[in-house]
């Protein structure tokens, strides 16, 4: 398989289960997280590769496409429509026998030749009318961006009415040579779009009037299809966030405060004495914002007791004394 081997990056077999992939990701993400390795560029690069691999392999549909098409999995639908098949040499063969071997930077022009497309998400063949004026654009955001809301500058190839045929597609009953009979010519535009707080995987954000035009100049809409990158610390379930909080043994036994990470900073959590390992505390209103209103989910902090290491002789004697006082460990 050409390109990056996501299985190798996560250190799992190709037959790995979803749980094995998730466990491998969380282990590696914690190890190479920038907060743990400040200023380490190699760790930062590794962290990005780990996130990229997990984003694909944790999604059933994306993983199936990756297993079939390798690092060109994003174009699986276009390959399928064109009747393309992968060869053992990492090339793709179209139904008519023509072969294509991709070089970096060739994909855009290749798909233009294969499908006669312009615009994002509205693939069509030359000379055929558009099925829809609406355009879809995938946008990936981080959990922090989904928490706060964000914006993107998009460079998009859309269209405008052909000045030669004025959108009719024909001149004296002959297909217009400028627009090849479509009535529209491609145009590259840069637009800024706002992504509201609270978006989730699969959220569709409508940007009115930024789609393709029809023969009258009326334009469809642009739909941002959101995907949220997995986070090494937080697990999201709906609008609630789950996080594990390392807690010193002495704090768990005697009580005290620990710091709980949140997408907007750290909070102090009061841990009562004799708190058991695995106990979960609910921090109301500290989760993700609900899309479309001012309500928020909760943050659930799970205590993970940290056992001391590198004990001194005196500390070991104290634990031996404790074991005598509590022989059952209770």
Residue 83 belongs to a domain: no
Given a contact cutoff of 8 angstroms between Cβ atoms, the answer to whether 196 and 103 are in contact is: no
CA dist 229 → 122, 216, 286 (Å): 25, 40, 20
Residues 217 and 167 in one domain: yes
Residue 190 belongs to a domain: yes
Last residue of a domain, one of 229, 260, 289: 229
Residues 144 and 223 in one domain: yes
Q: Mean pLDDT throughout 311-319? A: 92
Residues 125 and 188 in one domain: yes
Residue 291 belongs to a domain: yes
Measured CA to CA, the distance from residue 301 to residue 287 in angstroms comes to 11
Domain ranges, residue 141: 118-229
Measured CA to CA, the distance from residue 46 to residue 32 in angstroms comes to 7
Q: Which of 28-37, 210-219, 284-293 has the lowest mean pLDDT?
A: 210-219
The number of distinct structural domains making up the chain is 2
Q: Mean pLDDT throughout 78-89? A: 50
Percent of the chain with pLDDT over 90: 41
Centre a 10 Å sphere on the Cβ of residue 326 and count the other Cβ atoms it contains: 9
Give the CATH number, domain containing residue 134: 2.60.260.20
> Looking at the chain, how many residues does it have?
330
Measured CA to CA, the distance from residue 181 to residue 184 in angstroms comes to 8
Residue 236, pLDDT above cutoff 90? yes
Residues 151 and 221 in one domain: yes
Residue 315 belongs to a domain: no
Residue 217 belongs to a domain: yes
pLDDT at 196: 94
- pTM (predicted TM-score): 0.56
Q: Mean pLDDT throughout 42-56? A: 88
Residue whose C-alpha is closest to residue 230's, from 137, 141, 138, 150? 141
Last residue of a domain, one of 189, 211, 229: 229
Residues 272 and 181 in one domain: no
Residues 280 and 300 in one domain: yes
Last residue of a domain, one of 229, 255, 278: 229
pLDDT at 99: 38
CA dist 60 → 17, 29, 241 (Å): 11, 20, 22
For residue 150, name the pLDDT band (cuts at 50, 70, 90): very high
Residues 132 and 202 in one domain: yes
Residues 198 and 283 in one domain: no
Residue 166 belongs to a domain: yes
pLDDT at 113: 38
Residue 106, pLDDT above cutoff 90? no
φ and ψ at residue 67, rounded to 5 degrees: -60, -30
Long-range contacts of 74-83 (CB under 8 A, 24+ apart): 75/107, 75/111, 78/111, 78/114, 78/115, 78/123, 81/115, 81/123, 82/114, 82/115
Residues 133 and 222 in one domain: yes
Residues 279 and 223 in one domain: no
Residue 260 belongs to a domain: yes
Residues 211 and 284 in one domain: no
For residue 179, name the pLDDT band (cuts at 50, 70, 90): confident
Residues 208 and 240 in one domain: no
Mean pLDDT, the chain, integer: 80
φ and ψ at residue 237, rounded to 5 degrees: -130, 105
Q: Burial level of 234, CB count in 10 A (0-12/13-18/19+)?
A: buried
For residue 242, name the pLDDT band (cuts at 50, 70, 90): very high
């Amino acid at each position: 398989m050409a390109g990056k081997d996501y299985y190798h990056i996560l250190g799992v077999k190709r037959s790995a289960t979803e749980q094995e992939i998730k466990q491998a990701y969380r282990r590696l993400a914690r190890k190479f997280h920038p907060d743990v390795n400040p200023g380490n560029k190699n760790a930062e690069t590794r962290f990005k590769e780990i996130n990229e691999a997990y984003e694909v392999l944790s999604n059933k549909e994306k993983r199936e496409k990756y297993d079939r098409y390798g690092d060109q999995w994003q174009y699986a639908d276009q390959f399928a429509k064109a009747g393309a098949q992968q060869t053992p040499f990492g090339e793709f063969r179209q139904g008519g026998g023509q072969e294509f071997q991709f070089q970096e930077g060739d994909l855009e022009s290749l798909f233009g030749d294969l499908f006669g497309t312009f615009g994002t998400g509205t693939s069509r063949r030359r000379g055929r009318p558009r099925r829809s004026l609406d355009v879809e654009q995938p946008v990936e955001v981080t959990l922090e961006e989904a928490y706060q809301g964000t914006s993107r500058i998009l460079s998009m190839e859309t269209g405008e009415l052909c000045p030669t045929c004025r959108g009719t597609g024909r001149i004296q009953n002959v297909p217009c040579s400028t627009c090849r009979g479509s009535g529209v010519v491609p145009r590259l535009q840069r637009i800024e779009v706002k992504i509201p707080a609270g978006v989730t995987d699969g959220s569709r954000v409508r940007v009115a009037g930024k789609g393709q035009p029809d023969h009258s100049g009326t334009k469809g809409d642009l739909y941002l299809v959101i995907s949220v990158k997995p986070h090494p610390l937080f697990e999201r379930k709906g609008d609630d966030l789950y996080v594990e909080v390392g807690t010193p043994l002495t704090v768990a036994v005697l009580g005290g405060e620990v710091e709980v990470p949140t997408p907007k900073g750290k909070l102090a959590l009061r841990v009562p004495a004799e708190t058991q390992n695995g106990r979960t505390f609910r921090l109301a209103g500290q989760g993700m914002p609900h899309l479309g209103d001012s309500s928020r989910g909760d943050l659930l902090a799970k205590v993970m007791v940290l056992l001391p290491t590198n004990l001194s002789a005196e500390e070991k004697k104290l634990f031996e004394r404790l074991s005598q006082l509590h022989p059952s460990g209770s």
